Amino acid sequence: MIQNMQAGQLISLAINDQVKEAYVRNSDTLLYTLREQFGLVGAKPGCNNGDCGSCTVLVDGIPINSCHILSVEAVGHKITTIEGLTDSTIQQAFIGNWAIQCGYCTPGYILNIYALIQTYPDADDAMINEWLESNICRCTGYQEIKEAVKNTLIARKINE
């Protein structure tokens, strides 16, 4: 039983446009592998239960709690972590709107909002709120985060 728990395999993951290899246990979550094997510690273990969103990464562009997906399940998918987010518009919006205090929720939020903007560039307040529901920020009271999202959406429309 204990030995089975340790059973694992060599996998290749496409992370941030790079192919990375690791020997993982079958039961390792993607969050664990990102942090412990690849040093991609921007994904945070806030609850390991899918409740707080701090470990959010993009899997094929969709925000996923990386504590809720096994590393072996991530094979064949395109994974983006905060370290690989090269379009820094939303990061700059977070900085410009003071949407960061302790910063622990920030990577998860930024990836979540990045996906929102890519998927629904015309998102209204209701949709923004719905997307923001999946994450917890314990410091800001959310107003600055909402402003960062709205200002980014507005800026995109002006630029179009």
**Residue 49 vs 76, nearer CB to another protein:** 49
CA distance 111 to 88: 11
Of these, 22, 59, 74, 132, which contacts another protein (CB under 8 A)? 132
H or E element in which residue 64 lies: strand 62-65
CB of residue 23 vs another protein: minimum separation in angstroms? 13
Question: Which residues are CB-contacts of 8 (< 8 A; sequence separation ≥ 6)?
Answer: 23, 24, 25, 26, 28
Residues 70-129 close enough to bind another protein by CB under 8 A: 81-83, 88, 91-92, 94-95, 98, 100-107, 110, 129
Stretch that binds another protein, among 15-23, 46-54, 71-79, 115-123 (CB under 8 A): 46-54
Distance CA 24, CA 8 (A): 5
CB of 41 to another protein, least distance (A): 4
Q: Mention every residue, 6+ apart, whose C-beta is less than 8 A from residue 1.
A: none
What is the C-alpha to C-alpha distance for residues 69 and 105, in angstroms, rounded to an integer?
19
Which parts of this chain interact with another protein (CB under 8 A)? Answer: 2, 5-6, 25, 35-36, 39, 41-42, 44-52, 54, 81-83, 88, 91-92, 94-95, 98, 100-107, 110, 129-130, 132-133, 135-146
